[in-house]
Chain A
Amino acid sequence: MQRVGVFVCWCGSNIAGTVDVKAVAEALKSEPGVVFSTDYQYMCSQAGQDMIKNAVKEHNLTGIVVCSCSPRMHEATFRKTAAAAGLNPYMVEIANIREQCSWVHKDMLSGTEKAIILGKAAVAKVNLNAPLTPGESPVTKRALVIGGGIAGIQTALDIADAGFPVDIVEKKPTIGGKMAQLDKTFPTLDCAACILTPKMVDVAQNDKIRIFSYSEVTDVQGFVGNFDVTIKKNARYVKEDICTGCGACVDKCPMKRIPNEFNLGMDNRPAIYIPFAQAVPKVATIDPNACNMLKNGKCGLCAKVCTAGAIDYTQKDEYIEEKYGAIVVATGFNPISMDKFDEFAYSQSKDVITSLEFERLTNAAGPSAGKLLRPSDGEHPHTIVFVQCVGSRCESCAEKGKEYCSKICCMYTAKHAMLTRDKYPDTEVYVFYIDVRTPGKNFDEFYRRAVEEYGVKYVKGMVGKITPEGKKLKVQASDLLANKQLHIDADLVVLAAAIEPDKSARPLATMLTASMDTNDFFTEAHPKLRPVESPTAGVFLSGACQGPKDIPETVSQAGAAASKVIGLLAKDKLTGNPCVAGSNELICNGCSSCANVCPYGAISYEDKEFRMPDRTTKVRRIAVVNPAVCQGCGACTVTCPSGAMDLKGFANLQIMAEVDAICK
């Protein structure tokens, strides 16, 4: 039996005005376990707290009930008080007789009556309280960043800068991501490569950072501070540590007509290739679907020309297992497929392109060496039509488009239009828009400059149909402000395709037990207050995997995610919330119901040998809760038919005791 002390607070007149605090203290004296009961004007004051401490010593209290304001207000205060008095802080229960009693009831009689009942419930509960100690777990001081685009790069650099080792896993042969494909960046128009490639070099040279390129994560086990991750390094048939990136093999390879992914298929690359000049790591990769040697054992030219001897046709996929304390998801985005939007004739004409293709077309390292030429005939286009929101804000077309706004298109389209007019003043540039959305520092100014200084023709309306005819693209569109239907003979049409999360994100989310929204964007632990954390502890979000965002936003989120990771890795031990679930193995059925409802993947199963009363042994499957992962929601406790699963601090018996006390 506990020795319970009851402390009824007046809160000045806040409580005492409607509740007869003396009567409450008096009534609770006769409750089971109560050995001391008193009242005081301000229990949270230093004097009030001292009163509690003294009472603990004087009356040898093992449990404390404070009848006062909401536990959301002062539970922490009184727990500290209890700890200072040498009690376990979780031996404190609060009866909320202010917010949920004196403040909402006017009648002294019923207010006092209710306060007594709430006090009784708290006494009943504290009688069943047990000292709780938060669990501790060690932290592996290494971080994993999944995705090597600007988000992953920035996160890795920031983590490494704080002194922690970090690994980047990138599925492409090089890091750099989408930003490496861009030409200029808005709103400053500095060249993407000029600001990105130095960061890529920093990554390569940082001895705290390891890059696993051409690799993917295939398995994640464990929990915050202690993840066990399997990384599959795909065979690139080139020894990474030997290859110098000289490119001799690339020049000699006879299989030259493979669509070049980096230029979105607008030109070709050989079977052995380095994606672009500033690739990191700058090593060659053999495309096994294109290489003659790998397909039918004929050729071997690259091995012959490689003076370093880096080519290895026998290389196999390699699996690496590594421990991490934190994982950052930075899997990024892709433009959606334009296949189902053929009213814009993307499949019918080479001169209808996406904005990302336009980036490559204007990039000095792109297929046309930076000259804006029509893909169909290499001629200079004189009339260019940009179509915004292709597949974005598309509610009715769930099969092909996205309901959300892709956020970045307004700005990059303004950039494309402006740059075109700047470089080729003889070109007519139309931008069809539904709304121009340019919130952001210097963003609206940028868009207005495109209109006012560069003469880009912005038309409020949408393109309805594009008809390739002869060399022209007949664009039929509406100009809503002029209330006209426009017919424009264009030479080039650029579609601002909606963006979507990378396809690798969904299986990764399953591995990480991280939640996603219906669009496959990762969800945040809190949309406003914890925007870079996943609800799964130890998993953080960086960049467009969480939602569409531009480079400045991505970089700031990358930094934020890094600081969260650093905060985690800086700890030697993690202290958990002690109010976690626990399973009574003696009556656990091992039925898996609890694991089904656990949002955190905190429950696993093991076979355990039990000694039976008749001295035989029996092996049974039982649930085991990882207290470091459990967040204490209690979903599992209700789904457990035998009641084996219970929640510390909110145990079945405790809640039922409260129910009984209230219903008595």
Chain B
Amino acid sequence: MAEYLIKNGFVFDPVIGIRGDIADIAIKDCKFVETSEVKDPKVIDAAGKTVMAGGVDVHAHVAGPKVNVGRNFRPEDKLFTYKPRSGVERMQGGFSVPTTIRTGYNYARMGYTTVMEAAMPPLYARHTHEEIRDTPILDQGAYPVFGNNWFVLEYLRNDEIENTAAYVAWLLRATKGYAVKVVNPGGTEAWGWGLNCENIHDPVPYFNITPAQIVKGLIEANEYLGLPHSMHIHANNLGNPGNYTTTLDTFRLSEGIRPRSKFGRDQVMHHTHVQFHSYGGDSWANFESKAPEIIDYVNSHDNITIDLGAVTLDETTTMTADGPFEHHLTELNHLKWANTDVELETGSGVVPYIYSPSIKVCAIQWCIGLELALLAKDPMRVFLSTDHPNAGPFTRYPRIMKWLMSEEARNQQIDSFKYRDKVIDATNLAGIDRELDLYEIAQMTRAGPAKALGLSQIYGGLAPGLDADVAVYDFNPNEPYAPDDIETAFSSAEHLFKTGVQVIRDHEIVSNGNKRTLWVNAKVNENPQVMRDVREKFLRYYTVTLNNYEVSGHYLPNPYVIEVDATQ
């Protein structure tokens, strides 16, 4: 393995605790090492440039069945934006839902090296892994969804945490999944009948359980197992005016629960794309931001982490396992609607959406996403995301960084809104002068997400021993710059190393890398009841046999297995 020395860059790294000082970063055998340990390194001159660890995305929809529905049913999303093949790069298409090839390359161009697929329907796990396999460069894992799963509903109806945990462990292994994802708990099962669960106490039809019981039970099962990541939730009532109370109710379900994990995380609940869950008012007419109420709660409760789901004001494609929400959306915008309900497990929907700066609600949504970040007290617990592609494509992360780092850029955007004054009235952003620095950006995009995922032993920083994922950006924080310079620089890393392999050199992709797929293998005590229930459900209700369900190893050509021992 080659040795590298990245010399004289301005280094921002919360793990080492270095805030833009000039330092050298050494790489040897895929890992960061002390500079004294490299003998004959290739030297990268980073003088005048910014150096950060590889980015970590805790929540994006980048691989699997609904993503591919989004690709295949939107040919117009690829019109005139295709990038031809050249050099090591294969052809790349799609704007809001890029092909797997473009997904890998474009994340790398932004300096990201790890991306988690946020919702994997277990029955479609094989598909998700096929796409992950064909996404170059990135390390990836996928979160199977549990919040509407019949096993979970039946066990938690009777508070059977141990059985739930045993089932979770079995399903993580069967699907090669990474974490416990919950989407609109109970609501998507209700959608099997065209219904929904609109708050945490709305009972799930036929199953005699509430979303609150599901969420609390899955947090407890997650901690019973001590998984690397916490339960990761998209709460009920997404996208509706006045939903912030549901969000706060959901947060409160974590109260009093502490993490029981040896993977270094502090939270027991990660709530995702909180922008979509921070709405006040009771109609689109008096729709307003409740970001302060939401972030106050997060600021004062250290067992919660969130990601933003920031709106980028683009034409995009929404996609979620929240089936009833997508139906609601297509009723609003009358655009094409795809839906897939998945037997015994989950559902999903896909609808194109245009976040127009000329529409008041869209502009308010944009403000809310940024408010959450700017009002956050602990950037180690609030992560940058667009819930790609729901609030906007991930390729806009550098633009969000610009908005977070520059009040001038925010004001330009606010002033261009068609309903500027009404938007200002309904939000708080115009009064916020905070400008994040690159250290805080590194917390929100590197160290924080890595820690929340339980992966701070390999990702998120530049400390010796960590995997050598590092980006060099052509950006000098000590020279004057225009807001757009931030976006330009962070859209195109000058150099990128992924696990010690240089994948970008002089802004050009030079290698397809050495991608890995992460999954969690949790060992539990033998549980004959759960295995009997599994056999029974496959025999009677599934349409595939149990023996054809598990994803076999060859779908993960380069796996990275995290072993968890929950036998007791």
Asked whether A and B interact, the reply is no
Q: Which residues of A contact B (CB under 8 A)?
A: none
Q: Which residues of B contact A (CB under 8 A)?
A: none
